[in-house]
Structure 1
Amino acid sequence: MTGDTTGVRKFYLDVLPVIDVRHVTMKTHILSPNPCAHWLMAGLLALGTRAWSADSPTLKDTFKDHFLVGTAINRNITTGTGFRRSPEQVKQDVALVKAQFNQLVAENEMKWAPLHPQPGADGYDFRAADAFVSFGLSNNMYLVGHTLVWHAQTPDWVFAGTNPPPPGVTNVAPRPFADTNAPGTNRFGRGRFGRGFGGFGGFGRYTGPRASREELLQRMRDHIHTVVGRYKGKIKVWDVVNEALADNGTNILRNSLWLEIIGPDFIAKAFEYAHEADPNAVLRYNDYGLENPAKCRKLVTLVKSLQAQKIPVHAIGSQAHLNVAVTFETMDQELAELATLGLPIHITELDVNSAQGGQRSFGADIADNAATTQGGLVSDADRKLAEAYAGLFRAFLKHDKSVEMVTFWGANDANSWRGNGKPLLFDGNSQPKPAFDAVIAEAKKMATAK
């Protein structure tokens, strides 16, 4: 037993602390390779997660000497209005964000469709994005903008023109625009965008008459200059191009309208325009599935090509939408491969699915995919989630000379686009789960080893 002024007695198992359940209503439990430790932890897990308090460790302080720890937030955090969240729950969410994180990214507010739904200089709606920036700056957060160029959630008007589509593509007019920020009680709430965002050029592919290369480049440049310029000096990092890589096959790039109309240099142009708009911003390429060695090699090939052209790519974003099958070795291999580029690595959208449901679909939009489930995970699922996160953070810490930022895609399970999978470190009531303790333990183990 250790000397402890909090009145909570601690015992040690494999040199990792377990809080005595007789003194608190919720438990801290740390993974150990010792089978007995796993048996004891399983018993603790069955009793539930422990309560978080102001005296508990925080992610931002625990990893302050290694990397920033951030989260994606949605409009319920920045405006105080929630989707499926009561005012008291929103208050808890905000308190959790402020206590645990030192970096923020807007999960949806800066994507093209909600930010620039109508053509022209008068077609912007900055209300939600401005609220995000104001919230972040007022709380001394490091801000990331997501995203400037993406094949999804881009309005049809961006690609529309007078040139006929290729043979075999049905010629249809652009779909009607949606006023995504129309007045009403649900203006910043869940469901304004509709599942899939297909109603205004989201994940549904535009098939009508197309813009020319020159027209689309001009629209891209105008959009990037306007958005990046508006937040110059405030947003420090931009996801300039998102998910341009092909998932399968030998092609490097996915078949998108950006690629078909402009050509493969659309990526280089986007980075050049962003650098023009804010020469001091860190410009990032962001993609998912990089734990797949073949896709990771595609990213390395792409970025090396951009580097050879002296295109201003400053960081690599690995989304890391994972499941509990992920191992330390998998992430270690990915980070080692990415490190060969000599650029900072950012883990940008981290979550780990720990139950059926909540699988990755076309895009990680919290507000559209949020689902609050009843009850708690069985202890085995909590254990597997904790083991997965422990391995991931062990890899992040091993590569902390390259890894500069780790961002969770949501602060707690209730605000997760994979809510059914309960993929985060905090439950729907903003209380820490065993995975949180496992992550903190990895930092302590590294500190002890030095």
Structure 2
Amino acid sequence: MRSSSTPVPLRSTVEDLSRRALLAAPFALAACDRFASAQTAPRHVPPLKSFAPCPVGTCVMTGQIRDPQWVDLVSTHFSQLTPEWEMKMEYILQEDGSRRWDAPDRIGAFARDFGLRLYGTTLIWYAQDHPWFNALPRARFGAEYDRYITDVVARYRGKVVGWDTVNEPVAEDGNGLRDSVWSRNLGADGYMVRAFQTAHAADPDAVLFLNDYNLENNPRKGATYLRLVERLLKAGAPIGGLGTQSHLDIEIPAGQTAAFFRELAQFGLPIHVSELDAGLRSDRRIDLRSDAERVRQQTARVAELTEAFVALPPAQRFAFTIWGVRATDSWLRRGDKDDGKDSPVLFDDAGNATPMFDAVAGAFRG
């Protein structure tokens, strides 16, 4: 899950539009001025969840559930919610080792009241360099690790359908695994096997996912992730599903995402597109692409990913989650990242459907 680091882009001068992108092109061209000026003309679009071949998710923070427009969009188009960060250790675990449950409980109640599935993220993440765990004597570390996972999973047993059990374990460049407080104390693979086993004991019915990002963007990282899955399964980890965050680089070569999904599907496990977005901005010092060209690249890459997901056997389509409802809800539009122009999700600042919505909807309909 992206909150502080941006996926490393892979650049390509080759850009082939997919069939879905061509179908969506009229919408994309009509939206170019929208991208440039953030002015939109509302148009009716059908509820995405009404024709999606799987649960359609988005992320939530408690402040958003007081926003009537956000609530209307979520209740109309989505069927699953993931807490963006208020179910992470950073929120739940306090400096004295106690637990804080107010925000995740509120999100759970909101999901229940609106008939939405609740998906949990994240139990163990390399970035959780928590001072309470750092202060533990080594003899207590494993027991407290187990206790934390058990406390969280057991509290939401029967309420959460699945968990990002281990999040982002693969190194940024794909060369091996990340170093973390967990790997240093429990072993590089050992902390992951233990997390899955402990979470499964706390809720045998929850689907437990290994989740990571840049798997489509960086083939080397995707390959390392696939080898890790194979290794953990052989070690007895009860992995129930595979999560790919899908923060897409719109300039990756056509066909690269579809190829990765074919590899991912070979395990036969449910797959979760867990945090989809596709920013229109670039890291280039000089970017001569027109707004229209950026939108065409975005819709082509999003269409390819959605088509690859829809092509999976029904049992492998766990959920398709968009990381943000409106453009202004996206992590890509926060702080110094926000130039007021990016449109990386399905709805714009005003809550109107974007060309990316059309790309996803077109692939869902087939």
In the superposition, the TM-score normalised over structure 2's length comes to 0.83
Pick closer, same or farther for the CA change 1:41–1:318 going to 2, 3 Å: closer
Counterpart check, 1:262 vs 2:186: yes
Structure 1 segments unaligned to the other structure (5+ residues): 1-15, 17-29, 81-89, 162-210, 358-376
From 299, 307, 312, give the equivalent of 1:399.
312
Q: Which amino acid aligns with 1:432?
A: A
Quote how far apart the aligned CAs of 1:138 are: 0.9
Q: Which residue of 2 aligns with 1:290?
A: 215
Is the 1:70–1:103 Cα contact (8 Å) retained in structure 2?
A: yes
Counterpart check, 1:382 vs 2:295: yes
* Higher RCO structure, 1 or 2 (CA under 8 Å, sep 6+): 2
Quote how far apart the aligned CAs of 1:129 are: 0.6
Matches within 5 A, 1:236-385: 236-248=161-173, 250-251=175-176, 253-264=177-188, 265-291=190-216, 292-326=218-252, 329-356=255-282, 378-385=291-298
Matches within 5 A, 1:50-129: 50-53=41-44, 56-63=45-52, 66-78=53-65, 80=66, 90-120=67-97, 123-129=98-104
Partner Cα distance (2:159, 2:254) in 1: 35
Q: Which amino acid aligns with 1:391?
A: E
Quote how far apart the aligned CAs of 1:382 are: 3.2
Quote how far apart the aligned CAs of 1:415 are: 0.5
Is the 1:241–1:267 Cα contact (8 Å) retained in structure 2?
A: yes
Partner Cα distance (2:251, 2:226) in 1: 24
Aligned length: 328
From 351, 356, 359, give the equivalent of 1:435.
356
Partner Cα distance (2:249, 2:135) in 1: 38
Quote how far apart the aligned CAs of 1:247 are: 2.7
Partner Cα distance (2:275, 2:213) in 1: 9
Local SS of the residue matching 1:46: helix
Partner Cα distance (2:215, 2:31) in 1: 35
Q: Which amino acid aligns with 1:308?
A: K
In the superposition, the TM-score normalised over structure 1's length comes to 0.68
Local SS of the residue matching 1:93: helix
Q: Which residue of 1 aligns with 2:15?
A: none
Quote how far apart the aligned CAs of 1:441 are: 2.1
Pick closer, same or farther for the CA change 1:304–1:39 going to 2, 3 Å: closer
% identical equivalent positions: 33
Pick closer, same or farther for the CA change 1:385–1:249 going to 2, 3 Å: closer
1:260-309 C-alpha deviation (Å, 9 max, x unpaired): 12212011111111011111111111111111222222222222122112
Structure of higher CA gyration radius? 1
1:145-165 C-alpha deviation (Å, 9 max, x unpaired): 10011121442111223xxxx
Q: Which residue of 1 aligns with 2:331?
A: 417
Pick the structure with more helix per residue: 2
Pick closer, same or farther for the CA change 1:216–1:310 going to 2, 3 Å: same
Partner Cα distance (1:284, 1:261) in 2: 22
Counterpart check, 1:222 vs 2:147: yes
Q: Which amino acid aligns with 1:436?
A: F
Quote how far apart the aligned CAs of 1:249 are: 6.2
